Structure 1
Amino acid sequence: MKKLYFNYLETFNGLSREVWWLSLITLINRAGTMVIPFLSLYLTKSLGFTLEHVGWIMSCFGVGSVLGSWLGGKLTDKIGYYKVMSISLLLTGLLFISLQFVTTFVGFCVGIFLVMLVADTFRPAMFVALSAYSKPENKTRSVTLIRLAINLGFTAGPAIGGLIITSIGYHGLFWVDGVTCILAVVLLIKVLNPKKARVLDEVKVENPVSVYKDKAFWVFFVSMFLFGFVFLQYFSTMPLYYRDVYRLTEFEIGLLFGMNGFIIFALEMPLINWLENTKYSKAFLMMIGLLLTALSFLILILGFWLGILIIAMLLMTIGEMIAFPFSNAFVVERAKKGNQGEYMAFYSIAFSVAHIFGHNTGMQLVDNIGFDNTWAIITLLSFVGVLCLFLLMRILKKEKS
């Protein structure tokens, strides 16, 4: 056990101090966005909006995310990642605090759009910063550390948010969200001042290739949209499946998702460290990750047994652990030939667009054709994504020859 513990710690060796600080800032930022999981409850219970209203508000949420990611990439290439991250965190904090005072439907649509527009400019800038503060050989593991921070933030945030709602009400969430974003700015200024921080891999391209002309990247973009579309079903339609078909309680559903978070926390870094030392390409590993996610839906159709839910969650978790870090590392590497912010923006946009269509489409499919037929369609879409990644491998092979 002691040897396993030290081997686990060994997988974190070599990462720069700045990457650790960036992970902590990301953890504070993600744990702080605790309004989001409770947004539908707040809108229906406190503001009395209908489900149709909530649907439109979530659409504004998604559109803001897409435009924010695009804007963040443009600004990062023009004024640099440090300024974009600082301004984004500060304004997001102020907007979160202000959002609690908005009570009309149109006002909230505009408010949540602005929050996400500003908040998601942070993501492309953060990934460019991550690339700058990582040695080339450590980039995939650096991305994995950021993912651990995001997962811890998403785990801790809702738990703390529930306590805040119980003790001081929903308005407390907006204050805590806003204050944590502002605290993240203070920490950023203290520890990642560009005059003091060590830049390990600064990329300056004299004649950058436009992302719009990069054929391989757009095949990758489509595959990531499909992966995001499929993956998001676990956070919208799948909980309904657990409740309505298997009659699981909220506590049991929480345990299943808790298993996902624990496995990622315990095993993702060692797994990525091992896979990095194999001969497999990033595109091949992404394909394996999406294939495992597809199988997690396929096995649900094959039989009715409680253990299948655990097996499906394990397959999805392993697929997620492989696909996300290597897809991020792929786009960081690809971005060296063009404008880094622009590339990272479109990587984020692939998942933002999946958010716009994934949740709503999944719900509509379940409502009209049932769970099993929905899982069949989701599996089919997954295999389309696998084919896209196979095509990407062929294109990359031609580029090298």
Structure 2
Amino acid sequence: MSLAALRRAARESVSGLPREFWWLWTSTLVNRLGAFVATFMALYLTLDRGYSATYAGLVASLHGLGGVVSSIGSGVMTDRLGRRPTLLIAQSSTAAAVALLGFMHDPVAIAGVAFLVGMASNASRPAVQAMMADIVRPEDRVRAFSLNYWAINLGFAVSSMAAGFIAEVSYRAGFLLEAGMTAVCAVVVFLKLPESRPAVVTSDDGKRAVDAVGLGTVLRDGRFMSVVGLSFLVAVVFQQGSVGLPVAMGEAGFTPADYGTAIAINGFLIVALQIPVTRLIEHRDAKRLLVVSSLLAGYGFGLTAFAGSVGVFALTVCVWTLAEMINAPTQTGLVVRLSPVQGRGRYQGMYTLSWSLAALVAPLMSGFVIDRFGAAWLWGTCAAVGTVAAVGYGALMRRVPDGQPAGARAEAEPAVGDAEADVTAA
């Protein structure tokens, strides 16, 4: 492909998206560029503070539990208070909690503040996804979600490399840098992002539409909850890249450096290929994409059972990374299609919950299966779970109209140029 063709492809990938999206994208990128703590938390607790690996695992679990707790609450806040206030509260709270964590010495205090950090940092996700759905036209949403996912991985790749150098100087400096960059995100939201929540509609009996869409509405939505369940299955499989794979490689005699070499392929491929892959999948059938990505994820990890060298491990990472690049924007777009406009926050919160729960379940699953049956059974289980998810998506998507909001949710979308008239203040 010529340089001119590459430039044209890049221009087409980023054109047509509203200015508000790019400020939101910038906030996401800055946030991930400063995500140092998650990278070196285990090393900080074991090497710098001298705590056991068991205690470090407990702190990581509490951090994940905080995300589970906040998923639903932040979704409700997103609908009731608005997207912008929820983002401001979440990012300001994250900055304060991360800074505080750097000064904690008592093990109980460290565990408690880690739980708060998990709650605060996860609370922004439903608001970001709901705001993105509000401000981006339906036909551009897959591309927008993909660009946002690309920013997440680009920022995390850079911050992961920087974390090692920062830790050599001072772990506390890492906490304060992350707090400072998260505070910058809050400033960007405050200065550049208007509230995007659709105008509150009142019915003839005076009941607000936002009040009519409660958590019970979400839980009774069988089609959407099926998506949440399938998302959980896929997320459990993807989580094995960070929880099951390093353990299995260690038991097979590979070094941490070998694991680092193999898993680095994941971030490199996403940064290099996410935008081209999005151009290929943007207008394709969501059902086929979700089925294919589930199979690639399951059998990509399944192939790990036959890996005997770092090169083969890296090849399996390539397979499930392709699944990740296809699944992430497609599934997020499906969640938006199935969500009523006035309940996007709650629906996104429930979707976020599926990934938070997977982050808790996956380590328990991988440890139990490897200890009891061996690593080969874990990879076989991943292949089976991926197959179940693929069959589930195939059956579910037969009942979802292609390219249109599901069922009664086919509501008029505001034109991008008329956004100011169709949003309300927080």
Q: How does 1:84-233 map to 2 (within 5 A)?
A: 84-167=86-169, 169-194=170-195, 202=198, 206=209, 208=213, 210-233=217-240
What SS is found at the alignment partner of 2:254? coil
Residues 1:58 and 2:64 are matched in the alignment: no
Q: Is the CA contact 1:221–1:347 (under 8 Å) kept in the aligned structure 2? A: yes
Question: What letter corresponds to residue 84 of structure 1 in structure 2?
Answer: T
Distance 1:115 1:298 in 2: 34
Question: Greater CA deviation, 172-181 or 237-246?
Answer: 237-246
Distance 2:33 2:192 in 1: 19
Question: What letter corresponds to residue 328 of structure 1 in structure 2?
Answer: T
Residues 1:277 and 2:283 are matched in the alignment: yes
What SS is found at the alignment partner of 2:240? helix
Q: CA deviation at 1:368?
A: 2.8
Question: What letter corresponds to residue 322 of structure 2 in structure 1?
Answer: I
Identity %: 26
Task: Give unmatched runs, 5+ long, in structure 2.
Answer: 202-208, 409-426
Q: Is the CA contact 1:289–1:323 (under 8 Å) kept in the aligned structure 2? A: yes
Q: TM-score, structure 2 length as denominator?
A: 0.86
Question: What letter corresponds to residue 88 of structure 1 in structure 2?
Answer: A
Q: TM-score, structure 1 length as denominator?
A: 0.91
Which one of 321, 325, 347 corresponds to residue 321 of structure 1?
A: 325
Deviations 1:100-145 (A, max 9, x none): 2222222222111111112211110111111112111111111011
Q: Is the CA contact 2:130–2:344 (under 8 Å) kept in the aligned structure 1? A: yes
Deviations 1:29-78 (A, max 9, x none): 12222111111111112222222222222221111001111111011111
Q: Is the CA contact 1:222–1:388 (under 8 Å) kept in the aligned structure 2? A: no
Pair 178,306 (structure 1): closer, same or farther in 2 beyond 3 Å: closer
Q: CA deviation at 1:306?
A: 4.9
Distance 2:399 2:150 in 1: 32
Distance 1:49 1:188 in 2: 38
Distance 2:278 2:223 in 1: 24
2:415 alignment counterpart: none
Which one of 315, 325, 343 corresponds to residue 311 of structure 1?
A: 315
Distance 1:249 1:78 in 2: 46
Q: Is the CA contact 2:241–2:263 (under 8 Å) kept in the aligned structure 1? A: no
Question: Greater CA deviation, 109-118 or 221-230?
Answer: 109-118
Q: CA deviation at 1:302?
A: 4.1
Question: What letter corresponds to residue 292 of structure 2 in structure 1?
Answer: I
Distance 1:306 1:164 in 2: 28
2:350 alignment counterpart: 346
Q: Is the CA contact 1:29–1:181 (under 8 Å) kept in the aligned structure 2? A: yes
Q: CA deviation at 1:258?
A: 2.9
Pair 105,329 (structure 1): closer, same or farther in 2 beyond 3 Å: same
Pair 363,137 (structure 1): closer, same or farther in 2 beyond 3 Å: same
2:243 alignment counterpart: 236
Which one of 376, 382, 397 corresponds to residue 380 of structure 2?
A: 376
Pair 124,397 (structure 1): closer, same or farther in 2 beyond 3 Å: closer
Distance 1:239 1:21 in 2: 36
2:416 alignment counterpart: none
Distance 1:11 1:152 in 2: 16
* Cα-Cα RMSD: 2.3
2:422 alignment counterpart: none
Distance 2:103 2:265 in 1: 37
Distance 1:239 1:298 in 2: 15
Question: Greater CA deviation, 386-395 or 124-133?
Answer: 386-395
Question: Greater CA deviation, 227-236 or 390-399?
Answer: 390-399
Distance 2:53 2:261 in 1: 27
What SS is found at the alignment partner of 1:380? helix
How many residues are aligned here? 392
Q: CA deviation at 1:270?
A: 2.4
Which one of 258, 267, 272 corresponds to residue 261 of structure 1?
A: 267
Q: CA deviation at 1:305?
A: 5.3
2:6 alignment counterpart: 4
Q: CA deviation at 1:304?
A: 3.7
